[in-house]
Amino acid sequence: MVQPEPEPQSGEDLLIARYFRPLATHPGARALVDDAATFTPPAGADLVLTTDALVGGVHFFPDDPADTIARKALRVNLSDLAAKGAKPAGFLLSLALPETLGAPWLEAFARGLGADAKDYGCALLGGDTVRTTGPLTLSITVFGTLPQGTMVARSGARPGDLVVVTGTIGDGALGLEVRRNSGTAECWRLDQRQREHLLGRYLLPQPRNALAEALRQHASAAMDVSDGLAGDLRKLCAASGVAAEIEVARVPLSEAARQALARDPALIETALTGGDDYEVVATVPAGAKDALMAEAKAAGVALTEIGIIRVDCPGVRFLDQGGKPLLFKKASFSHF
């Protein structure tokens, strides 16, 4: 009289089994068939935890490829771990799905997520999948580990420290402009490669996890640049009680961004205050700069010195080549 075999399963169970169980390679994920996951922290480790939500039509375009939506959702979280000097350990995914997204979409989504989970050594440990009448909404909570008490905080910058930034700044915000308005690339006289570079940088962040250990060892403060270099650096300075002086000419720009700025110099404000960079801005004591630079080079992560920390009221001063400060209308992206 027992219910017939094979065990009847709900649609939710089947969805999890089909798309997400193959990603749950960590034993603590228990093949996603328990209420919770387990994780045994390494002895002497702190957990570093962060969560980021992405909403269709707000953080990505609803018609962006499913695999890049998944990867972006994971990578924006990984970027936080990178800035804190933590090693990725695992993540949990909450997925609110509109009815319009069917099997092919889910299959591509899971494929992208699985590829990045593997590449970044960050296993899927659990999740929840629900229906929504609204846009696709994803929330990922990621956690990493590092030796106890060694997280790179925002609050450690000291006068005399140098300010460094990874990669290039502004590509994400400029890429969003190109994505929003197809005439933009032509207006900026971008060639095909430059256009694709900017679009790609908006679509898929490149978190700097390869630099995490070097930051942990040498940086006095760090944060990931997600809402614009100007506003994010201002937050770091506020937390540290210091001022930063940035030479705009030293801020690293991609060839595509330089081309856009050559056509419209006012775009420097977009580059410095727009979101979606997912680079790391850090401060480093002068004596540790060479070691950090050498380790960045070994890790294959471009790292550029852009300024210095001063004793002053907390804030950021961006100086042009004549030493004159730039003033921005709005320092950073905010939802509210």
Radius of gyration over every alpha carbon of the chain, rounded to an integer in angstroms: 21
* First CA to last CA distance, the chain: 57
- 17, 47, 302, 308: which one contacts its own copies (CB under 8 A)? 47
User: Which span (67-75, 257-265, 268-276, 328-336) binds its own copies, by CB under 8 A?
Assistant: 328-336
The distance of closest approach from Cβ of residue 97 to its own copies in the complex, given in angstroms and rounded to an integer, is 8
Main-chain dihedrals φ then ψ at residue 39, nearest 5 degrees:
-145, 125
Q: In this complex, which beta carbon is closest to its own copies, that of residue 159 or of residue 325?
A: 325
What string marks each residue from 230 to 269 as x (binds its own copies by CB under 8 A) or -? -x--xx--xx---x--------------------------
Distance between CA atoms of 208 and 189, rounded to whole angstroms?
30
Q: Taken in order 50, 214, 154, 326, is the CA torsion positive or negative? A: negative
Q: In this complex, which beta carbon is closest to its own copies, that of residue 95 or of residue 292?
A: 95
Count of chain residues binding its own copies (CB under 8 A)? 90
- Does position 317 bind its own copies by CB under 8 A? yes
Q: Which of residues 71-110 bind its own copies (CB under 8 A)?
A: 80-81, 83-84, 86, 90, 92-96
Q: Which of residues 50-69 bind its own copies (CB under 8 A)?
A: 50-55, 57-59
Q: Which of residues 162-201 bind its own copies (CB under 8 A)?
A: none
Q: In this complex, which beta carbon is closest to its own copies, that of residue 169 or of residue 260?
A: 169
- HSE (side-chain half, CA atoms, 13 Å) at 313: 0
164 beta partners? 282, 305
Q: What is the DSSP string of 63-123?
A: TS-HHHHHHHHHHHHHHHHHHHTPEEEEEEEEEEE-TT--HHHHHHHHHHHHHHHHHTT-E
